[in-house]
A = this chain, B = another copy of it.
Amino acid sequence: MSQPAKTVTACIIVIGNEILSGRTRDANIQYFATELGQLGVRVMECRVVPDIEETIVATVNEVRRKFDYVFTTGGIGPTHDDITADCIAKAFGVGISEHPEAVARMTRHYGDPALFTPARRRMARVPHGGILVDNPVSVAPGFQLENVFIFAGIPKVAEAMFQSMRHRLVGGTPVLSRTVRTNLPEGIIAEPLGALQQRYQDLDIGSYPAFRNGKPSVSLVLRGTDEPRLVAAAAELIETIHGMRGEAEEFAQ
């Protein structure tokens, strides 16, 4: 018998008017979701919120109690619209001030004191109790308060920050997946697929139609923690598709 699966959950909060205005297409959700999945942490929800203190504070306080981990991206730069650190302090009811190690790193980085402007010093401010998250790209650190991790919004920086702290995360049972891609339309495969889901209630079977090279195509994705069950279900599904004279191609993710 396999071990019972342990579920560890996460929520991603994307902070930034630029996503809500449509100016920028978010890239961080997909990156974090993929990386966290590999660590056995399941992203259960994402929120995109504006640069409004009340909304950020309320969102953080709601989700940090609901999920094992919370990750925020955005709003920790040097400009007036960067209010994330202050919002996190407010959400946790703690003070905020310059973190000596952050100041030391940034002093080294900028060299000339004239370049370490008051605006840049703002980026050394960390809510009390915060643990630094390294920033190998542009030095000004992120930070962690309890189960909440605060990252930059620029994907390149956010990704580097994540890589620098991923060892702090304790994941649950990793979710494995297999994809069966078919040319059968959803409306034809739906019935046997639903029956398969009934027989494999420990798996999560999703159907994702798309246009590939202008032609409709369906990706049937099986997800679960027990590899032999996944393999068996995928084999059954392929047999079913072949029985319906469809084409099936399998991918190990």
The residues of A with any CB-CB pair to B shorter than 8 Å are 17-27, 29-37, 42-51, 55, 77-82, 115, 117-120, 122-123, 154, 156, 175, 177, 186-191, 193-194, 197, 204-211, 221, 223
Contacts and interface: CB of A to CB of B under 8 A. Distances in A.
Nearest to A218: B79
A193 B79 contact: yes
Copies in the complex: 2
Contacts of A80: 190, 193-194, 197, 205
A187 to B, nearest CB: 4
A190 B50 contact: no
A20 B47 contact: no
Nearest to A44: B50
A47 B46 CA distance: 6
Given A46-B47, A211-B156, A18 B190 contact: no
Contact of A79 (B18, B21, B78, B194): B194
B45 A55 contact: yes
Contacts of A118: 191
A48 B29 CA distance: 10
Nearest to A118: B191
Nearest to A23: B221
Contacts of A204: 17
